[in-house]
Each structure stands twice: as C-alpha cells, then as structure tokens.
Amino acid sequence: MKRRDFVKVGAVGSTAILIESCNQKPTKDIQKTNTLIKSKKIQAISTWNFGVDANKVALIELKNNGTALNAIEKGLNTTESDASNSSVGLGGMPDENGLVTLDACIMDHEYNCGSVSFLQNIENPISVARKVMETTPHVMLSGKGAYDFAIKNGFNHKDLITKESFQKWLEWKASKEQKYPEINHENHDTIAMITIDKYGHIAAGCTTSGWAYKLHGRVGDSPIIGAGVYVDPEVGAACATGLGEAVIKICGTHTVVEQMRNGLSPSDACKVAVERIKKSNKDLSGLQVGFIAMNIEGKHGAHSMYSGFEYAHEDEKESKLIKSPYDFEWE
C-alpha cells in the first residue's frame, strides 16, 4: 500500500472511530448515578465517638428547617469548643513548639468551599472557613493571613492550649525518643461531618488540630478540598480522618466520591480509597486512615486501614455508633 493510500485509509478509520465514540452511550454505572434520587431524610454522620454529640447539635438545626451547611458549622463548633477533646480546637494537642495550630474546611451542595490552615488562637476554625467561602473570592487562607481575617470579621483571640495538653507536651518534649502518637481508637484525630437537609442538599466539613507534636508549619489533609472533604451534589460526599499525608497522596475524598459516581456503595467506595493508600505507602505500620461517605440517596458507609475506627450516625429515629469495616487489626 502506498503511503498516500495508507494516510487516506487512516483518516477514514479515524473519522469512523470518532463518530462511533461520539455515538456511544454512557456506561451503566454512570447512568445509574444519574438516576439517583436525592434523599430529603435529614441525617448526619461524623467521625469517631465524639461525633455523637456533634450530630445531636446538627440534628437540632436540621429539625428546625436549617440547611445542611448550617448543621455542619454548628455541629462541628460543638467539638471545637470542647476543651476535653484534644484533637480539635480548644484543648487541641500542640505542635513541636507547644503551639496549637488548626486546619478546617467546609463545602456545600453548589461546589462552594472555604478553608483555613495553620490558624492559631481562634477557637472555631470551621466558622472562619465558612466566612472565607461566603465573603471572599478565595478558597483557602493560611497562617497569619487567616488569623488577621478572622479578627477583622469579629472572631476573638483565644489561648487554645489547656493545662492538660500543655503538660502532655512537656512530657513529650522531655522524652528521649519524642515519638509521634499513633492515631487509633484511644487517640482520635479529625472530626469530619456530612449532613443532608430536608431540601435534599448535602454538605460536609472537617476541623482538626492535626497530628500531635507535628513539625511547626505542618498542614495535613483536613483543609484541602478533595483530600479531607469533598462534595459533589450529583453524587454525594466523603470525609477523611487519620494520617493526612497518606490521604493527600491519593486525593482521598475525591477518590471516594468518584467511586460512588461509578456505582459503588459508600462503604465500597471508601474501601477503594484505603486500597490505594496501601499501594502508595510501603510502610503501613501504624498508618491509620478512615473514610466516611454518604450518597445523595442518604446511604452511608465507611472503611479504615486498621480496627478501632467508628463513626456516628443520627437521623430523626435514632442515634448510634457504627464500627467501620477495616483491613488490619492493631497489634
């Protein structure tokens, strides 16, 4: 065959392939997602056992015709302001220099999102993140810029370290090994929450003081949209907890939501994200991560790397803690 004839045949073949690909129908999984019916059953899920109290506050808001976004903020404010919780906000564990630095993000059913990272001396970072979302053209503010923005918008300066967390930091500082504590059922991490309101709208958010005794300036997955939190109004939402570095590597919550888009259940979608983390990290010892997810039909689920992870669920009928499926037992 002459080169000119080959080019002609190739051009015709390419055109045929293009026409055929344009005429192809969406896959069954995509069609299935497109036919999901939005649930208008109000409910909330959140990470760890302290999510029970956060959910109760969120449900009060939802029962009073509040939006999913309002429920997220008010529910997470409860945990942020609880000085007995050493994972979030007031009383959060400090970094290596003895400073409490906070990360948070929030996202609604219209792809609007706001975030703060490395924020100090502000008790409720989730509220600052919402203010960033609603009053600025930006998604994330960080460090002193986030602090200055918060003060300018009426938030109060507050010393966040408690006597208990300060004493633990002193003991860690005096130890020879200065090991980072493992994230397990006894040493919790981020609180993250997903809600659905009576309008069928879904929202999500998370807030944390991060890894105890972390390097000064370290930021995890919690303030990163697509890592710590992601919402797609056509599909659902997902949140992460655990070792943020591992979650960031695979854009964890975006991965979960895309798996739900492809037809997987929330629990199975979370499992896929955990499997990807296993593949992207050579050393899994002590590497705890957990995901929670809810689709727009109101179905929810979770999966974690190690045992011990649980999430709270509440609707108008009941409130309960649910043990997450997992891959490994803690040794």
- 35 assigned to active site: no
CA distances from 19 to 26, 31, 52, 90, 165 (A): 15, 21, 54, 60, 65
Q: Is 314 helix (H, G, I), strand (E, B) or coil?
A: strand
pLDDT at res. 129: 98
In the chain, domain spans: 39-328
Place of tokens 């400073």: 99
pLDDT reported for residue 330: 85
Cβ burial, residue 28 (10 Å; 0-12/13-18/19+) = exposed
Please state, as a whole number, how many other Cβ atoms lie within 10 Å of the Cβ of residue 331. Answer: 6
Q: pLDDT tens, 155-168?
A: 999 999 999 999 99
pTM beyond 0.85: the answer is yes
Residues of the chain with pLDDT under 70: 1-35, 180-188
pLDDT of residue 35: 58
Q: What is the pLDDT of residue 282?
A: 92
Long-range pairs of 281-287 with CB within 8 A, sequence gap ≥ 24? 281/246, 281/249, 284/328, 286/182, 287/242, 287/243, 287/246
pLDDT of residue 269: 98
pLDDT at 286: 85
CB neighbour list of residue 250: distance below 8 Å, 6 or more residues apart: 273, 276, 277, 280
Q: Distance between CA atoms of 133 and 317, rounded to whole angstroms?
A: 33
CATH annotation of 39-328: 3.60.20.30
Which residue among 190, 207, 241, 255 is the active-site one? 190
Total residue count of the chain as it appears in this document: 331
pLDDT attached to residue 178:
72
Closest CA to 41 of 198, 209, 208: 198
